[in-house]
Amino acid sequence: MIEKSCKITVRYGETDQMGIVNNANYASYYEIGRTQWLRQLGLSYQQMEINGIMMPLIDLYSRYLKPAYYEDELTIKTLVKEIPASRIKFEYFIYNQSNQLINQGYSQQAFVNAETRRPQRAPQYLLELLIPCFDKE
């Protein structure tokens, strides 16, 4: 399992008139978690796209446990529990500044060749970053 964390502060535009984060924003929070997870491994979505790999969303689940409010500092924990083959599953746990779990979910992205738009295996350079992390367990 590879776990990475990042922090965000809830912006005004992400909330409703009561100052509560709109549920639709959690998918964006998950994207922040994914991109930071990759970046902390030493890779970026942009690098993958330059290398001809796209990662379209194929599955998304979100469970809302407690509300988040304007100016809350949230911690997004992103986990990958398995070495990917043709798709990768990210799990997310979002905590407020009191360390209360407020949301959990997951997304799955497929690896797609940008030129052919066909599914493919996870790129070797990604596997080379991931496998040593799983070997440490």
Options 16, 59, 72, 135, the catalytic residue: 16
Question: In whole angstroms, what is the distance from residue 120 CA to residue 54 CA?
Answer: 10
Going across the sheet that includes 57-64, the strands are: 2-9, 73-80, 87-95, 101-110, 57-64
For the whole model, what pTM was predicted? 0.93
| Each residue's pLDDT tens digit, 103-114 | 999 999 999 999
- Residue 1 clears pLDDT 90, i.e. is over it: no
**135 is known as an active-site residue:** no
- The predicted structure's pLDDT at residue 131: 85
**Confidence band of 93 (pLDDT split at 50, 70, 90):** very high
Residue in the structure block whose two tokens are 């052919």 = 116
